[in-house]
Amino acid sequence: GESVGLHLPTLSVQEGDNSIINCAYSNSASDYFIWYKQESGKGPQFIIDIRSNMDKRQGQRVTVLLNKTVKHLSLQIAATQPGDSAVYFCAETPGYNFNKFYFGSGTKLNVKP
């Protein structure tokens, strides 16, 4: 079956530091990956995505790295701010079935002022 998991369930960082949130997946056919941010009482919010033909993609203050060899995905947040405090989920879908996205269990990011 599909398996998307996270190494660290909780991450605490100091405001201004960089944050790295990791995610492992098990399906070598995974083709498309998304990072979501979920604040308390809200639905997940899209942050950044990456397809399997890339190994790095940058957005505003965020970078996603994909290592297909070891089936590992990471989200880097630069200059972390208190507003970044939330639960972060990775999600993946295999290229043969875009109907389903498989979500990890989430990492809670605490940003200390």
Distance CA 105, CA 99 (A): 20
Distance CA 5, CA 10 (A): 13
CA angle 65, 88, 110 (to 5 degrees): 110
Q: Using the minimum distance from each CB to another protein, give the nearer residue, 35 or 80.
A: 35
- The site for another protein, by CB under 8 A, has a size of 23
Q: Are 15 and 112 in contact (CB under 8 A)?
A: yes
Q: Using the minimum distance from each CB to another protein, give the nearer residue, 56 or 100.
A: 100
Q: Are 71 and 7 in contact (CB under 8 A)?
A: no
Q: Which of 11, 21, 34, 77 binds another protein (CB under 8 A)?
A: 34
Q: Using the minimum distance from each CB to another protein, give the nearer residue, 14 or 45.
A: 45
The nearest distance, CB 16 to another protein, in angstroms, is: 28
Distance CA 76, CA 92 (A): 17
Q: Which residues, numbered 51-110, are part of the site for another protein (CB under 8 A)?
A: 89, 91, 93, 98-106
**Interface residues with another protein (CB under 8 A)?**
4, 32, 34, 36, 41-46, 49, 89, 91, 93, 98-106
